[in-house]
Structure 1
């Protein structure tokens, strides 16, 4: 099983570079908490859709979950849009 919370450890390194203003520290802590909650939500969503075993065995569980999208036999194959969104999101 992977460790999805390594990014939060990297984000906490930013706290050393913040000025000691209370609003900046509150904003930084809120960012770390909201990022952690987003990770927890995504992992819970993939486990609930794919199941624990399939999620752990997959290299890209979020992509496998997106491949399952089928809305009224009309909206299918949204995986290229997801991959474009993922690349743009990783860039920024």
Structure 2
């Protein structure tokens, strides 16, 4: 990493950043689902990645990078791991 600005990662730097941060996004997603499970019965399915769910996921990973593509991919991973935990 380091060949481009943090605001606009090249494809290689994006892939490197995702490799480093995907576990963080996954952990945050699982923790998110656990916190929701404390308040809401798990009989309902986890919401799809759209609307409020997408907004919350984006907020949960906003601090992990400045590149919009990176943040979006991390948000999708966060929501996917939340849904995975929820369904288990």
TM-score normalised to the size of structure 1?
Answer: 0.27
| Greater RCO structure (CA 8 Å; 6+ sep) | 2
> TM-score under structure 2 normalisation?
0.28
